[in-house]
Structure 1
Amino acid sequence: MNDFVLNDSETDIDSDEELQEAFAKGILKPGLNEEIEKTVKKYVNNVADLKAKLKEIELKLPWIEKLDLVTTVAPMAPDVALQMEETAQRRKNIKENTKGNQLYDPTQDPVLNEFKRENLIHRQAQAAVIDGIKRLKELNVPTKRPDDFFAEMAKSDEHMQKVRKNLMAKQAAQARTEKVRQLREQKKIAKRVQIDTKLKQAAEKKHMLEQLKRVRKGKSTDLDFLEDNKGKNSKGNNSKDPKNKISRKRANKDKKFGFGGKKKGSKLNTRESTNQLEGFNSSTKKKPFNFKSKSFKPNSKKKNQRPGKSKRKNSKR
């Protein structure tokens, strides 16, 4: 049998050191000490083959079936250009104020670049839409949906009726629960008010009885609390009695015509009314007509009096 000699740790260290020295000197190279040849990949732009392949895979269909468009970018609107300038100026002010006196480069601003990119996409789509609508009109293809257009529903009418019924049932259930909740709250409030009024009445009664006991024992002679209690009761009765309430219609009629009483014969003369002559002029106070005054002229004629009909006819002849 052959004897195998195991390497000690010292021999292993020596071998590792030798390998490191050889690698440092450049004796050892990658690839298990075998040189690997570097191959440079050549890119060939074979235009003829590419065009042939394009013709092979190209769909020979009319334009209306493909709707492919190659257009330039539409011009920028003035308001968009102004908005872009304002945004750039605002971003510049923010950057310079926050980061000192550093120069602001708008081409390196991600916010402004994103805005410009979206604007380019929008303008490209706008130019394509304008060109496409123009071509469709040349081909007499309608581009607007008519007013009486009805699209075919993905769901049947029966299914939509079921959905509608389900929604209406849910709404009715919600309204019912809301109404029940409001009624419960109203009952709670009414019960609370009733309890409060009963407690208040009990407290007032207790206070009155205590004062009455003091009067009976001779500790007090003040009986005003009884009158106050009567006044409260009378006010409460008057407010609750519907007979004491006067309607607005009745109040307006009372204001206009009075508060009742005898109406028949109210305008007839009586002894008192005949004796009251204050509103009339007596014959003694009246002055007789003065015939000698200048205003009285029995034979005077009116000036500019219009002639009669016969005279006017004769004058026309």
Structure 2
Amino acid sequence: MPIYLTQPGSILKAKRQVFEVWYRQQLQHRLQAKLTSHIVVFQGCELSGEATALALSHSLPVLFLDAGDRYLGRLHLEPDAKYLPQQLQLASDPQFLQSTSERIVSATLHNRRALLLSLTSCGCPTVEIACEAIELFLDEIPTLPIEQLRRHLAAINQVYYPALREWLWLNAGSKPAAVNNLLHLGQALLEQVGLGMVLEMGLHPDIGGLHRSDGDNLPLVRDLMLEWSVVLVDVVTLQVALSHLGDSSNGNGKTSPAIHFITTWEQQLATVATGNKTYRQCLWHQIRHYQRCLWGNTPYRPALLKWTPKLMSETPIQPQTVTNLAAVSLV
């Protein structure tokens, strides 16, 4: 289970092998360290030295957010990467890196296009432009080296996210800055969950392929979480923006958009995605699948959405399921 420190003035303490959340000198919650998956610390909250040491001893990812609920930093963990030799070997294999990067980018763009197509009937020109750009890029993927894949993905970002922001502005009156904060919060939470699973699997988070390391961005985590960003970040952002951004916290006791986001995010992770697996279990399964690919016998197969569009109105936007299949153009 995760621990979220959201209320300014909250302190996470530790006694023996148990975390304790304190607020205004009162104990709010206790959780055994062995049952804790990760910790998220919002601006104005604090970790005691004992809690920090306990988190380190259990290799628990700890994420720190700034006043805008954006990534600020994380507790440095030394990965016990028992599969490091296999990772380093494949990191020098151009064919594996190219194939895996193509599949991740292709799946991500198919998932983004599926979401955008569910929004096109609401008359937002930017959404239609983003759809067209993605379709053009999908045709080019099999011919592009990794460096060009990175540049094209960055270019798609420049039309995809503005399309989501404009659609929300036109249909819900959501301010772009508030939407951006939710997107950044969602990405930070997704990478936090992914980091915990990558470490649990004995993988080193800094050895990826598509994303390059700048010393702090966990390339492997970002690689493996990219295809999930639509269903676990963008969809959740749309849900929260449509239902909460217009009337959320103004200091008068209403719950903030960030708290609503965390609640919706945890509900999404617990939603059954395919078969009897929740999205959280699908994430674990996907990283496990990547781990098995390290021996070179199995190509990486990304997660694709099977999408049944449900537009705003009375019904939340919700993808129905995911499949663990490679994009047809890349088989």
Instruction: Indicate the TM-score class for this superposition, using the shorter chain for normalisation.
Output: under 0.3
Structure-1-length-normalised TM-score: 0.18
Higher Cα Rg, which structure: 1
**Greater length-normalized contact order (CA 8 Å, ≥ 6 residues apart):** 2
Greater per-residue helix proportion:
1
